[in-house]
Chain A
């Protein structure tokens, strides 16, 4: 097994073992989405109209808040030092961690999306489209959040700082994610253009995120 896969495997194992954070993102997502109707009322027509937006906001918050500990645990037990001494470029190591995080946090969240859609009265057929936009867009959230996680660990601050740093950067993802979901459900705008841009954003952050995060980690060395 090569170092890249070994790191993905280790992080996924850590996430699903006791004390790991897998499913915590999905749980947070579930809770946030279930809370929304208490704020805006149980009107099913209204919920159906803004359902995709609620789901996207929930996914955004869940992806970012769960990233908080991505580097912090490795920093605290000295693993981060060794990760930087590997034969593989740090950019790849960082990307491996992000992929493992996406698989254990974002993927479960996408899987439970249809259930939440039912609660928000989004049509069954439309749910597939919303899930598809999440599938295409959440990698962008994870990889942009990665930069925030790296900055937060070098500053030895976590939690809200990460969200404050990263949320503005995720504006395009949110815009095109919700636009694509709405286009698929309500129309009349076509689904293709916003969805393609969403994919492009994910691909771009797939490259930009690890490079920036690795740079942040190297700069923050102390």
Chain B
């Protein structure tokens, strides 16, 4: 099937309905295997088992950023190619991306308690994720405020692109702000190469999260298409009654 065929929402729906069960199955399998590998991964000599929060925390951050990436591509699709599904894809990605970002923040806070003795420190990485989360919330508010999906599409696309341009700048500013105020006193992972016993489960979990993202994204796109159909059918219903 050529990509252009997918421009047709009906064809896209048939494709989603065919692919979704497989995606769900694959997600479940990879998750199961990933969790099994995580259970077998070594504990940290200082942090003990709490280090395993990382296997949720880090993929959450990655997928949170990828969500904005999907929205950026969708925004280009809306503004440049005027692809009929682009806005649907962008709108469906926003709450999912926000969800993964939230997972990253929540697990970060839970992880911070034993590590730092407090739920939150204004660590540069965590703070960048927080700003990303705020951007997501703004995007959701934008979709929420507009009653007409056609009108919100372009506004959301522009916001997504502006966000994409700004995210690196924000990241840089936060790093600068943080080092200015708080010399690297915070324990950070990384530095030396990560051992394979940690890296492999992490990558498997990242794959599981990615599959989950696309499963949710496809399902959300399907729902959004159906929601728009319901909307236009109801508008037709209003037209049929004597004006």
Contacts and interface: CB of A to CB of B under 8 A. Distances in A.
Interface of A: 18-19, 24, 27, 30-31, 34, 37-38, 41-44, 118-119, 121
B200 interface: no
Contacts, number: 40
Contacts of A31: 134, 137
Contact of A42 (B138, B147, B182): B182
B134 A43 contact: no
Nearest to B130: A34
A27 B141 contact: yes
| B130, B144, B181: residue with the most chain A Cβ atoms closer than 10 Å | B144
B134 A30 contact: yes
B159 interface: no
Interface of B: 109, 118-122, 127, 130, 134, 137-138, 141, 144-147, 177-178, 181-182
B137 A121 contact: no
Contact of B120 (A24, A27, A38, A118): A118
Nearest to A39: B177
B105 to A, nearest CB: 10
Contacts of B177: 38, 42
Nearest to A19: B147
Nearest to B137: A27
Contacts of B182: 42-43
Contacts of A44: 118, 121-122
Contact of A118 (B109, B127, B145): B109
Nearest to A17: B147
A43 B181 CA distance: 8
Contact of A18 (B127, B134, B144): B144
Contact of B146 (A19, A42, A119): A19
Nearest to A37: B122
A119 B120 contact: yes
Given A19-B147, A34-B130, A42 B137 contact: no
B119 A42 contact: no
A42 B134 contact: no
Contact of B134 (A19, A34, A119, A121): A34
Contacts of B146: 19
